[in-house]
């Protein structure tokens, strides 16, 4: 792939940080684009992008320790304007030991998303992508494998109105995100309804239109609410507990048809009690699930 670059492009590559020059990062281009020719073209585009956005990239990396092995939201730039809550979860939350990014969509603000300045969006995505490059490189060196992040999203109470208007703003950041192939191992959607999957399909069409690839990097595996067997394969017991308590921070009084989650770590012999009450002769359905550590 590097041999396919021009001499000027190879000089630009030699000026990049060690993790960007490393064979692991270059291999991500091969895996993400499927052939040497396509990977070389994408690498050429990435180097041009890094020259063009050198100031933003330098500012983003200045906030991240070179030996960082964990992603920290507070290191990101333009975090004050982000229209959702990003949750720090432990790496032990996944059975695979991969790092995890978790966002509960119930914290997403439609108004703040529409008001999010494009310049802040771009700086935020560059900042997040550069931090993941550093973190995943260090973890790859430590674990002797190509480490990727698992993106976990909980769709409980996800705002679905005006979705076409919402996804139109992705045109500002999808070209930037395409400069960082194969950072994501899997996208997992919890509590996803058919409406959510319709939105995912629309998003993929937008991505295809904005990001031209010989081979699309489309390996997202989606986990439905009812498929608890797959959830247990993905999340450790600790991860399930973290997730349930985060999305369960909502109100104690629920609308009809809504779902509330609670979780607690329990040892053999422990007793856990939850109580629910319904008004006007309604019915509260409770289900207990157990996840072994």
22 located within any domain: no
Domain count, the chain: 1
pLDDT at 252 over 90: no
**How confident is the model over 29-70, as pLDDT tens digits?**
999 888 999 999 999 999 999 999 999 999 999 999 999 998
What CATH number did the domain enclosing 114 receive? 3.40.525.10
**pLDDT band at residue 89, thresholds of 50, 70 and 90?**
low
142 located within any domain: yes
Q: How far apart are CA 149 and CA 4, in angstroms?
A: 29
* Tokens found for residue 107: 């914290």
Taking residues 144-149, report their average pLDDT: 93
Q: How far apart are CA 179 and CA 48, in angstroms?
A: 10
Q: How far apart are CA 38 and CA 19, in angstroms?
A: 21
90 located within any domain: yes
Give me the half-sphere count of Cα atoms (radius 13 Å) on the Cβ side of residue 25: 24
The reported pLDDT for the residue numbered 56 is 96
Q: How far apart are CA 79 and CA 81, in angstroms?
A: 5
Q: Quick one: which of 153, 172, 182 has its CA closest to 30?
A: 182
The reported pLDDT for the residue numbered 249 is 64
pTM over 0.95: no
**pLDDT band at residue 143, thresholds of 50, 70 and 90?**
very high
Q: How far does Cα 118 stand from its chain's mean position? A: 20
Q: How far does Cα 272 stand from its chain's mean position? A: 33
Q: How far apart are CA 97 and CA 17, in angstroms?
A: 26
**How confident is the model over 155-197, as pLDDT tens digits?**
877 766 666 677 778 888 889 999 999 998 888 888 777 777 7
73 located within any domain: yes
Taking residues 202-219, report their average pLDDT: 60
Return the SS3 of 162: coil
The reported pLDDT for the residue numbered 212 is 59
145 located within any domain: yes
The reported pLDDT for the residue numbered 254 is 65
Which domain does 74 fall in, by range? 67-249
183 located within any domain: yes
**pLDDT band at residue 87, thresholds of 50, 70 and 90?**
low
- Residue 273 CB neighbours (<10 A): 5
20 located within any domain: no
Lowest mean pLDDT among 15-19, 153-157, 250-254: 250-254
Percent of residues, the chain, with pLDDT higher than 70: 82
34 located within any domain: no
């Amino acid at each position: 792939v590097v041999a396919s670059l021009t001499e000027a492009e190879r000089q630009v590559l030699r000026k990049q940080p060690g993790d960007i020059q490393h064979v692991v990062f270059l291999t991500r281009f091969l895996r993400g684009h499927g052939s040497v020719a396509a990977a070389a073209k994408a690498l050429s585009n990435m180097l041009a992008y890094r020259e063009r956005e050198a100031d933003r990239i330098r500012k983003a990396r200045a906030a991240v320790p070179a030996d960082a092995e964990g992603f920290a939201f507070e290191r990101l730039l333009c975090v004050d304007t982000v229209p959702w809550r990003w949750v720090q979860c432990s790496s032990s939350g996944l059975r695979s030991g991969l790092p995890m990014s978790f966002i509960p969509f119930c914290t997403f603000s439609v108004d703040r998303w529409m008001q999010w300045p494009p310049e802040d969006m771009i700086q935020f995505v560059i900042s997040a992508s550069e931090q993941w490059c550093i973190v995943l490189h260090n973890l790859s060196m430590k674990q002797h494998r190509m480490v990727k992040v698992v993106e976990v999203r909980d769709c409980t109470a996800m705002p679905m109105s005006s979705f076409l208007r919402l996804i139109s703003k992705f045109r500002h950041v999808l070209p930037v995100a395409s400069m960082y192939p194969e950072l994501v191992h899997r996208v997992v959607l919890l509590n996803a309804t058919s409406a959510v999957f319709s939105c995912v399909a629309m998003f993929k069409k937008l991505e295809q239109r904005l990001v031209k690839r010989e081979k699309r990097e489309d390996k997202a595996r989606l986990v439905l609410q009812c498929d608890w067997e797959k959830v247990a394969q993905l999340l450790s017991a600790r991860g399930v507990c973290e997730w349930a308590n985060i999305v369960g921070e909502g109100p104690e009084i629920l609308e009809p048809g809504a779902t509330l989650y609670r979780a607690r770590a329990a040892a053999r012999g422990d007793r856990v009690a939850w109580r629910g009450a319904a008004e006007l002769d309604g019915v509260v359905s409770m289900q207990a699930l157990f996840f072994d550590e």
